[in-house]
């Protein structure tokens, strides 16, 4: 979406790789353990010389990489995976590198892991910097934060390599926001007037479904697009796919009857609560068994849209989200199709970086690279 052309992708899980290949037919996709791949052979196959590639982007697990990690052994596979990412960076020497991770990376091991990552990039000749970005500030209708590390070969990363927020949104960090005395979170300024995208704006045009209803694989839109987000997300689409409602248990359906938009588990009678939640404080687990307000943001989309773990009930229909609704709340365009079982599709959506956030980062990286070309 930012104008980069993906040449090669590596993915361990077959069904995830099939989804990526389906949506990127011109990209060489390998479904394999990255430790088995030879970057020099891939470079030769792609016809790319060392130093010629613009960008290597990925989300390698980083928590096991710190020299101060509690368990440092060959058995900690997380150690190897980040080193594999660096192996590709070392071989290709791209002009830029992009690493994404969870906000907790900043405080993990009191910052030692992040220091180790920045030091490792410096040893390979990359100036690097880090910020935490709120997806809702970039038009994503969801409370989601991501840690973004950008490295540039042979130069310091300018502040404008990270995108400035273009929306205001009612989100607050609940994690460490500073690193080495520097504020990491990019916040909107008073001049940022554009409002956030709401849940209703994101999914109200999708066809209604009863709980457990599957229907046709490709469905018609329920209404014409009612906002810019719906107009944008439909570009290139010929209908609604991946839109099938999961079945809910009888007790979840009964619980749902007590929950209004903006409500959560505290609205459920105690006799219907899961045993472990009868002792919870009303201020705890505020997203569980939640229905979002239609004029609000969705809670973070996880790898399972299970009501026990978040506000995943539809705001107006007595069911949980479909894969397409979760994808809409992640800012995937409707032409992007998901393969595999429904559980695998939900996992793909939940593990993803929201495309609108990725586009914002990609555009700023591209602008920085164009300055030096």
Q: What are phi and psi of 202, to 5 degrees?
A: -75, -35
In Å, how far are 153, 215, 323, 339 from 241, measured between CA atoms?
Answer: 41, 10, 9, 11
Sequence-distant (≥ 6) Cβ neighbours of residue 318 within 8 angstroms: 210, 211, 253, 256, 257
Looking up tokens 């809910």, which residue turns up? 248
The torsion region of residue 215 among left (phi > 0), alpha (psi -120 to 50) and beta comes to left
Q: How many CA atoms lie within 13 A of 48 on its CB side?
A: 22
How is 45-81 classified by DSSP, letter by letter?
Answer: HHT--TTT--EEEE----TT-STT-S--STT-HHHHH
**Marked catalytic residue, from 62, 211, 227, 305:** 62
Burial group, residue 337, by CB count within 10 angstroms (0-12, 13-18, 19+): middle
Contact between residue 364 and residue 163 where contact means Cβ atoms under 8 Å apart:
yes
Based on C-alpha coordinates, what's the Rg of the chain?
21
Cα(344)–Cα(342) distance, integer angstroms: 5
Residue 227 annotated in active site: no
Residue (of 356, 232, 248) closest to 312 by Cα position: 248
Contact between residue 265 and residue 312 where contact means Cβ atoms under 8 Å apart:
no
Q: Which residues are annotated as catalytic?
A: 62
């Amino acid at each position: 979406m930012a104008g980069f052309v993906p040449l090669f992708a590596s993915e361990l899980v077959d069904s995830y790789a099939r989804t990526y290949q389906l949506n990127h037919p011109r990209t060489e996709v390998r479904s394999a353990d990255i430790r088995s791949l030879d970057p020099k052979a891939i470079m030769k196959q792609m016809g790319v010389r060392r130093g010629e590639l613009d960008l290597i982007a990925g989300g390698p697990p980083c928590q096991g990489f710190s020299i101060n990690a509690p368990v440092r052994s060959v058995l900690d596979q997380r150690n190897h995976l980040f080193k594999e990412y660096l192996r590709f960076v070392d071989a290709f020497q791209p002009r830029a590198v992009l690493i994404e991770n969870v906000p907790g990376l900043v405080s993990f091991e009191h910052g030692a892991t992040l220091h180790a990552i920045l030091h490792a990039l410096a040893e390979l000749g990359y100036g690097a910097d880090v910020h935490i970005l709120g997806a809702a500030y970039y038009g994503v209708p969801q409370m989601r934060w991501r840690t973004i590390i950008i490295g540039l070969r042979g130069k310091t990363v300018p502040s404008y390599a990270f995108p400035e927020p273009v929306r205001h949104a009612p989100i607050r960090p609940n994690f460490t926001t500073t690193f080495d005395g520097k504020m990491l979170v990019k916040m909107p300024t008073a001049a940022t007037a554009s409002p956030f995208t709401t849940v209703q704006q994101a999914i109200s045009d999708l066809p209604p479904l009863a709980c457990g209803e599957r229907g046709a694989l490709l469905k018609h839109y329920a209404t014409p697009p009612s906002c810019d987000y719906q107009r944008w997300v439909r570009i290139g689409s010929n209908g609604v796919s991946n839109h099938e409602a999961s079945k809910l248990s009888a007790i979840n359906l009964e619980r749902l009857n007590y929950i209004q938009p903006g409500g959560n588990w505290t609205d459920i009678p105690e006799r219907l609560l899961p045993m472990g939640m009868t002792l919870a404080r009303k201020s705890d687990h505020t997203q569980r068994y939640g229905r979002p307000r239609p004029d609000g943001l969705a809670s973070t989309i996880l790898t399972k849209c299970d009501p026990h773990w978040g506000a995943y009930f539809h705001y107006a229909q007595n069911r949980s989200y479909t894969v397409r609704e979760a994808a809409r709340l992640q800012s995937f365009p409707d032409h992007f199709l998901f393969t595999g079982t429904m559980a695998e599709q939900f996992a793909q959506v939940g593990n993803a970086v929201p495309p609108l956030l990725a586009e914002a980062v990609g555009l700023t990286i591209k602008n920085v690279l164009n300055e030096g070309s």
